[in-house]
């Protein structure tokens, strides 16, 4: 191909080469050091545990109150049980719980028991006993008449002997015997008179039994009225409907609902710290306010009670009296449930720490103090305590921060952080 027909080749665009930068030995050394440090930090971070999230609280000064918290029940201070004085049929009681009564008011009536049903044989025996009693009375009357006649004769004989003795016509012995016979006859008359009375009483008894059998309602007018011993109100009716009662059977309870107290049973280990007169807070009784009271008495005798877990507990009753105007606790009645807090110790300015931060440390107590992002174990000395706070007698200062509820993961020197952040 002729040179004129050959295609013309244009030079293609070739990128310009950048000039090579030469690193000095010093630069290479710096870059290597930086890489080594970054690698070391990465290795350290990979093998270093992360900070443990914990809850913390501050050590503060303020009031602290130690209480014994137990449930209790209210009761009327003075209650009177009205019981049946004898056996009989109790009439239906018209009173209702809460009704007022005055001392001496009739609260119940008791009538004699109805006679039992008798078969014809028993009726015949009762009639026979009446007939026998009539005959016995007649016999006793005959004996009395005979004894009277003998006594009259003896009196006449004694009078004649005395007259003869005065005339010297008889011996002294004969006169004495006549007087003795007279006295004996008089005694026989007296004995016969008693026999007549006994026979008459037996006859009346037999006739009364027969009359009661023939007419059971004859004694309907006989009744015993049971009266209220005090002023008050009816607290409870043990028996309202008509029925047979035995001697000593409870009929009702009377008392004054306005005069109430609370009975709180506490463990004996808590009772030894409770003294009469200490304040008591009554809560969860149904009202909006907290009622005030004081310990009136700690009973000297304890009793055994089985807890909900089946453990036998020795407990003792603490009697609490209410304070303040009755309007605050007027709604409470007999047997109402209340929650009480008996104050056994109280101070207005105490260095304290939350109870959840304290744990056993050997023979003493310890806490973990949050300082510089780490947990530091510290042994402390404790004083009084309640369910939420503990008095600190040594080892901490106001403003220190402690770890709450430390678990097994918390150790001395452990990295920590506040989980509230």
Right CATH number for 85-108+227-254 from 3.40.250.10, 2.40.50.100, 1.10.10.10, 1.20.59.10?
2.40.50.100
CA atoms within 13 A on the CB side of 158: 17
For residue 64, what pLDDT is reported? 93
In this prediction, residue 218 has a pLDDT band, given cuts at 50, 70 and 90, of: very low
Query: What is the fold, at CATH topology level, of the domain defined by 60-74+257-418?
Result: Elongation Factor Tu (Ef-tu); domain 3 (2.40.30)
* pLDDT (mean) for 266-289: 91
Query: Has residue 196 got a pLDDT over 90?
Result: no
Beta-bridge partners for 263:
73, 319
Tell me: pLDDT of 419 over 90: no
Is a pLDDT exceeding 50 seen at residue 187?
yes
DSSP bridge pairs for 8? none
What pairing do the DSSP bridges indicate for beta strands 416-418 and 52-58?
parallel
What pLDDT, on a 0 to 100 scale, did the predictor assign at position 116? Answer: 65
pLDDT tens digits, 343-393: 999 999 999 999 999 999 888 999 999 988 888 999 999 999 988 999 999
Tokens standing for residue 69: 């918290």
Q: Where does residue 10 rank: exposed (0-12), middle (13-18), buried (19+ CB within 10 A)?
A: exposed
Q: Nearest-CA neighbor of 410 among 382, 364, 374?
A: 374
CA distance 301 to 269: 13
Poorest-pLDDT segment among 21-25, 220-224, 301-305, 363-367: 21-25
Q: What phi and psi values does residue 77 have, to the nearest 5 degrees?
A: -60, -50
Arithmetic mean of pLDDT, 226-231: 89
- Using an 8 Å Cβ cutoff, are 70 and 418 in contact? no
Q: Is the pLDDT of residue 420 over 70?
A: no
Higher pLDDT among residues 369 and 179, named by residue: 369
Rounded to whole angstroms, the Cα distance separating 244 from 87 reads: 7
Q: pLDDT higher for 89 or 30? A: 89
User: Which pLDDT band, with edges at 50, 70 and 90, does 323 fall under?
Assistant: confident
N- to C-terminal Cα distance for the chain? 87
């Amino acid at each position: 191909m002729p040179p004129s027909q050959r295609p013309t080749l244009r030079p293609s665009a070739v990128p310009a080469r950048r000039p090579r930068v030469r690193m000095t030995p010093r630069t290479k050394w710096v870059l290597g050091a930086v890489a080594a440090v970054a690698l070391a930090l990465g290795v350290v971070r990979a093998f270093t545990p992360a900070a443990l999230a914990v809850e913390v609280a501050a050590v503060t000064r303020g009031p602290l109150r130690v209480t014994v918290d137990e449930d209790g029940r209210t009761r009327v201070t003075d209650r009177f049980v009205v019981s049946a004085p004898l056996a009989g049929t109790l009439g239906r009681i018209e009173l209702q719980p809460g009704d007022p009564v005055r001392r001496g008011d009739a609260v119940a009536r008791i009538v004699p028991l109805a006679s039992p049903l008798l078969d014809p044989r028993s009726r015949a025996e009762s009639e026979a006993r009446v007939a026998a009693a009539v005959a016995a009375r007649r016999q006793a009357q005959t004996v009395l008449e005979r004894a009277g006649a003998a006594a009259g004769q003896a009196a006449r004989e004694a009078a004649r002997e005395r007259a003869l003795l005065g005339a010297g016509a008889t011996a002294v012995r004969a006169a004495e015997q006549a007087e003795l016979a007279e006295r004996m006859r008089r005694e026989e008359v007296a004995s016969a008179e008693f026999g007549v009375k006994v026979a008459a009483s037996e006859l009346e008894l037999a006739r009364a039994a027969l009359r009661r059998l023939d007419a059971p309602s004859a004694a309907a007018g006989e009744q015993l009225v049971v009266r209220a011993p005090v002023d008050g109100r009816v607290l409870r009716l043990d028996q309202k409907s008509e029925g047979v009662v035995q001697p000593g059977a409870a009929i009702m309870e009377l008392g004054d609902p306005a005069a109430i107290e609370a009975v709180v049973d506490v463990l004996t280990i808590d009772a030894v710290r409770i003294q009469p007169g200490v304040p008591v807070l009554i809560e969860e009784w149904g009202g909006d306010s907290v009622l005030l009271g004081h310990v009136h008495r700690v009973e000297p005798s304890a009793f055994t009670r089985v807890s909900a877990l089946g453990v036998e507990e020795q407990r003792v009753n603490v009697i609490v009296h209410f304070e303040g105007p009755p309007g605050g606790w007027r709604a409470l009645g007999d047997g109402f449930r209340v929650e009480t807090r008996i104050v056994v110790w109280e101070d207005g300015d105490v260095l304290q720490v939350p109870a959840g931060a304290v744990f056993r440390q050997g023979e003493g107590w310890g806490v973990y103090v949050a300082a510089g992002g780490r947990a530091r174990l510290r042994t402390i000395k404790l004083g009084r305590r309640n369910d939420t706070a503990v008095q600190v007698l040594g080892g901490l200062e106001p403003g220190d921060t402690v770890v709450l509820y430390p678990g097994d993961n918390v150790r001395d020197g452990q990295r920590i952080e506040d989980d509230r952040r």
